[in-house]
């Protein structure tokens, strides 16, 4: 199985490295901007503190996206390329059963996701140092949710690609299923913002509009976020197990 | 692995598809020999090879590799065999160094020295990506990787098709060298019968999913012949002696399956030796009996 994991690594290392470069640039530049709000040119800006606060409270999530999604991105099209390069057929001639082949894919993708998560946490730590603020548990929880949520999607991609062979076909299948949920999510977000805006006006009439709305929104979101931190690992573990067996089944089906 | 007589043993292999049936095919590849597997496009060669590799699920029959059941002991058997296809199954972004690192972890008996030895012999670059390789280079690379884990059986599906004669010759020499070890065997499907004329010990010929001939090449070539005669003489030949006949303006060329008997029976007739290509052509047209 080690050889199969090596193979996944060789095929994805270039894009992982490129995304790592993007991550380093992003974290480095943002850190410089944050430092500049108290020790550089931006310190003269009357809103420097607010800017630093805003950057620290939001940029870690972008760094998390770049890290977690970025490092796994290059691995997503490998199964499609396996079909194109006839590796899929050749792999059945190797002394390795479907379980080993699928395990190698899951292990490597798991390593990438965890690596991305570590980078996301590291980015938050760097931002906290740059902003001169203590490490935030809330940021960690949000990053963990990003990891688990995207991780499930990322693992489900393996059996999906084995079944539909191309990313285009996979997307064509997922889109009709996902569209009603996306529409519902969009509408729900709109209703939620309306509700929070009205509540913010009622509860905090003297506060700035955005800050008041954020306060109201957080009071609704936080309890659910904390529940999600406990529930998502269980769901993610179950999803990974399901996807693993689904992928083995697809691999066996594709053999004949 | 226990001792075995035949590297491959197929009995009554049947696979049914819509519009095509591989019908009770049986043959054996003796240990230490090279078998040519011939037949026209769609004859069932790839289906047979894929069934041997357990990529196609057989409907009926029995396949044994090194005396082992090809399904029950699949991975034990696959440790000792290698498959070579007409297309390189390695991603264009990889190079030979990466393939060495990958395959040495997959095959217990992988030898990096052997692999790089073949690469040097074939003058293949180690760091160049496969996407920049020519077809000949890709085939040589595939053969180098197939021969580097001490495989006892090499299965090749149209692997030399599309290669120029110089490369094909070079590859055939490697096969002959590989067969110096009497534990090694090759099953080689090919359209290029001249290659098999050069290297094969035995030949299996299938057509439309049915086995027509299987046996030692020399026996097959010795027993078959092309009887050349006039159109009038052709009418005198007993139908049971004729595989099929090519009729032209000057006379007839008749494929006979028992050259010795026919030369006695039709004394005075000229019977030329047949090549594998002749045998394939005349057998494919056996349904028509007469063709041009």
How near does any CA of chain A get to the CA of B93, in Å?
7
Per residue in B179-223, pLDDT tens? 999 899 999 998 788 888 888 999 999 999 999 999 999 999 999
**pLDDT at position B1 over 70:** no
Q: Which residues of chain B does A4 touch, with a Cβ-Cβ cutoff of 8 Å?
A: 102, 105-106
Q: Are strands B270-273 and B225-229 parallel, antiparallel or unpaired?
A: antiparallel
Per-residue DSSP letter, B274: P
**pLDDT at position B2 over 80:** no
Q: How many inter-chain contacts (A to B, CB under 8 Å) are there?
A: 74
Per residue in A19-71, pLDDT tens? 999 999 999 999 999 998 888 888 888 888 888 888 888 899 999 999 998 88
**Stretch A104-113: mean pLDDT, rounded?**
94
- C-alpha closest to that of B256 among B228, B219, B216: B228
**pLDDT at position B176 over 70:** yes
CB contact under 8 A, B91 and A256: no
What pLDDT sits at residue A37? 86
User: What is the complex's ipTM, to 2 decimals?
Assistant: 0.85
In whole angstroms, give the CA distance from residue A8 to residue A13: 8
**pLDDT at position A124 over 80:** yes
Determine what percent of chain A is predicted with pLDDT higher than 90.
Answer: 61
Q: Which residues of chain B does A92 touch, with a Cβ-Cβ cutoff of 8 Å?
A: 53-55
What pLDDT sits at residue A238? 96
**pLDDT at position B268 over 80:** no
Sheet with B81-84, strands from edge to edge, namely: B68-69, B60-65, B6-17, B20-30, B210-216, B202-207, B34-38, B185-189, B153-157, B81-84
Count CA within 13 A, CB hemisphere, residue A43.
Answer: 8
**Stretch B33-47: mean pLDDT, rounded?**
91
What is the token pair recorded at A152? 């499930």
**What are the φ and ψ backbone dihedral angles of B220, each rounded to 5 degrees?**
-65, -45
By CA distance, what is A14's nearest residue in B? B93
CB contact under 8 A, A85 and B91: yes
Q: Which secondary structure element, helix H or strand E, spans residue A68, and what is its range? A: helix A48-73
Residue predicted with more confidence, B25 or B287: B25
Report H helices in chain A: 2-39, 48-73, 78-84, 87-91, 98-131, 137-164, 167-203, 209-255
Q: Which residues of chain A does B75 touch, with a Cβ-Cβ cutoff of 8 Å?
A: 95-97
Does A95 contact chain B (CB < 8 Å)? yes
Per residue in B69-108, pLDDT tens? 999 999 999 999 999 998 899 999 999 999 999 999 999 9
Does A89 contact chain B (CB < 8 Å)? yes
Please tell me whether the overall predicted TM-score, pTM, comes out greater than 0.90 for this model: no
What is the token pair recorded at B50? 């894929």
């Amino acid at each position: 199985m080690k050889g199969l994991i090596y193979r996944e690594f060789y095929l994805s290392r270039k894009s992982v490295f490129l995304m790592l470069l993007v991550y380093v640039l992003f974290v480095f530049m943002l850190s410089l901007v944050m430092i500049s709000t108290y020790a550089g040119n931006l310190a003269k800006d009357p809103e420097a503190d607010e800017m630093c606060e805003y950057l620290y409270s939001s940029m870690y999530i972008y760094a998390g996206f770049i890290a977690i999604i970025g490092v796994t991105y290059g691995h997503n099209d490998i199964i499609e390329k396996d079909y194109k390069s006839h590796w899929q057929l050749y792999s059945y001639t190797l002394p390795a059963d479907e379980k080993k082949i699928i395990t190698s894919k899951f292990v490597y993708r798991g390593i990438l996701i965890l690596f991305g998560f570590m980078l996301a946490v590291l980015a938050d730590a760097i931002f906290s140092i740059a902003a001169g603020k203590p490490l935030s548990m809330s940021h960690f929880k949000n990053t963990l949710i990003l990891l688990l949520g995207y991780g499930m999607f990322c693992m489900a991609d393996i059996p999906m690609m084995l079944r539909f062979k191309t990313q285009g076909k996979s997307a064509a299948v997922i889109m009709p299923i996902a569209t009603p949920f996306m529409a519902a999510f969009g509408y729900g977000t709109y209703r939620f913002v309306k509700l929070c805006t009205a509540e913010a006006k009622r509860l905090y009439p003297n506060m700035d509009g955005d800050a008041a709305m954020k306060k109201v929104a957080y009071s609704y979101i936080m309890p659910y976020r904390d529940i999600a931190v406990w529930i998502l690992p269980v769901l993610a573990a179950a999803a990974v197990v399901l996807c693993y067996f689904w992928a083995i089944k697809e691999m066996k089906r594709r053999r004949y | 692995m226990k001792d075995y007589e035949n590297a491959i043993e197929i009995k009554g292999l049947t696979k049914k598809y819509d519009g095509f049936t591989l019908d009770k095919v049986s043959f054996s590849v003796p240990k230490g020999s090279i078998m040519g597997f011939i037949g026209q496009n769609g004859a069932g060669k790839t289906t047979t090879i894929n069934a041997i590799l357990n990529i196609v699920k057989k409907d009926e029959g029995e396949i044994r590799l090194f005396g082992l059941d090809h399904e029950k002991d699949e991975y034990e058997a696959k440790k000792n065999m290698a498959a070579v296809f007409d297309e390189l199954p390695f991603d264009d972004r990889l190079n030979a160094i990466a393939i060495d690192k990958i395959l040495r972890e997959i095959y217990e008996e992988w030898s990096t020295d052997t692999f790089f030895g073949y690469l040097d012999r074939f003058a293949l670059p180690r760091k160049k990506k496969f996407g920049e390789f020519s077809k000949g280079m890709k085939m040589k690379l595939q053969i180098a990787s197939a021969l580097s884990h001490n495989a006892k059986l090499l299965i090749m599906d149209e692997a030399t098709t599309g290669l120029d004669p110089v490369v094909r010759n070079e590859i055939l020499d490697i096969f002959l060298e590989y067969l110096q070890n009497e534990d090694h065997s090759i099953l080689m499907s090919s359209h290029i019968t001249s290659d098999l004329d050069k290297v094969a010990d035995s030949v299996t010929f299938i057509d439309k999913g049915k086995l027509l001939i299987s046996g030692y090449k020399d026996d097959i070539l010795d027993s078959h012949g092309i009887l050349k005669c006039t159109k009038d003489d052709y009418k005198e030949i007993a139908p049971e002696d004729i595989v099929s006949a090519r009729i032209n303006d000057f006379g007839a060329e008749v494929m006979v399956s028992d050259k010795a008997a026919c030369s006695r029976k039709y004394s005075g007739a000229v019977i030329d030796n047949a090549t594998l290509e002749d045998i394939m052509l005349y057998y494919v047209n056996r349904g028509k009996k007469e063709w041009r």
